[in-house]
Structure 1
Amino acid sequence: MEMPVVNACQVEACAYNTDRRCHALAITIGDVRHAHCDTFFSAPAKGGDPTVIGHVGACKMSDCQHNTQFACQAPNITVGYVENAADCLTYSPA
């Protein structure tokens, strides 16, 4: 199984975001109740590998139609703001 790509990330305040692209090796989505990007954090410096586009390593949103055994099956996802929180915009309740 290949991990889905973070196709776009609108959360420019994230330490892994450069030019609206995620550069974390893999992110985690959710906390069972909310589809937020659990990997998001802000820092004065940018991090991650600038040559890598992020992937979804784990998803805790078991009620998402793209989730199978806590693994995302969507071909790619988009992360963006929902009420000032970094959320998976691809999340869709089953």
Structure 2
Amino acid sequence: MKMPAVNECQVDACAYNAEHICHALAITVGNSHHAECETFFKVDVKGGDPAATGRVGACKMSDCQHNVQYECQASGIVVGYAQKDIDCLTYAPA
């Protein structure tokens, strides 16, 4: 199974974001409250692999229509702001 790509990240402050491209090798989505990007963190220095496009490694949102056994089956996702939270905007409750 190929992990879905993070097609866009709208969170410029993230350490893994460069020009709206996620450079984390894999992100984790979800907690007990919402489809949060748990890989997000803010520091002054950018990180990740500049040649890589981020992928969804795990998704804890079992109620999402794209989730099968905690693996995302969407063709790709967008990460951005849902109010003040940094979430998977592709999340769709089943």
Q: TM-score, normalised by structure 2?
A: 0.98
One-letter amino acid of the structure 2 residue matched with residue 32 of structure 1: S
Cα deviation for residue 43 of structure 1 reads 0.4
| Aligned equivalents of 1:32, 1:84: Cα separation in 2 | 17
| Aligned equivalents of 1:17, 1:4: Cα separation in 2 | 17
Aligned to 2:69: 69
| Aligned equivalents of 1:41, 1:86: Cα separation in 2 | 10
| Aligned equivalents of 1:36, 1:75: Cα separation in 2 | 19
Q: Are residues 1:88 and 2:70 paired?
A: no
Matches within 5 A, 1:8-87: 8-87=8-87
Secondary structure at the aligned position of 1:86 is classed as: strand
Deviations 1:8-53 (A, max 9, x none): 0000000000001100000000013210100000001000000000
Deviations 1:40-93 (A, max 9, x none): 000010000000000000000000000000000000000000112110000000
Considering only aligned residues, what root-mean-square deviation do their CA atoms show, in Å? 0.6
| Aligned equivalents of 2:19, 2:32: Cα separation in 1 | 29
Q: Unpaired runs of 5+ in structure 2?
A: none
Q: Which runs of 4+ in 1 moved over 4 A?
A: none
Secondary structure at the aligned position of 1:41 is classed as: coil
Q: Unpaired runs of 5+ in structure 1?
A: none
Aligned to 2:7: 7
One-letter amino acid of the structure 1 residue matched with residue 93 of structure 2: P
Q: TM-score, normalised by structure 1?
A: 0.98
Alignment coverage as a number of residue pairs: 94
| Aligned equivalents of 2:32, 2:58: Cα separation in 1 | 12
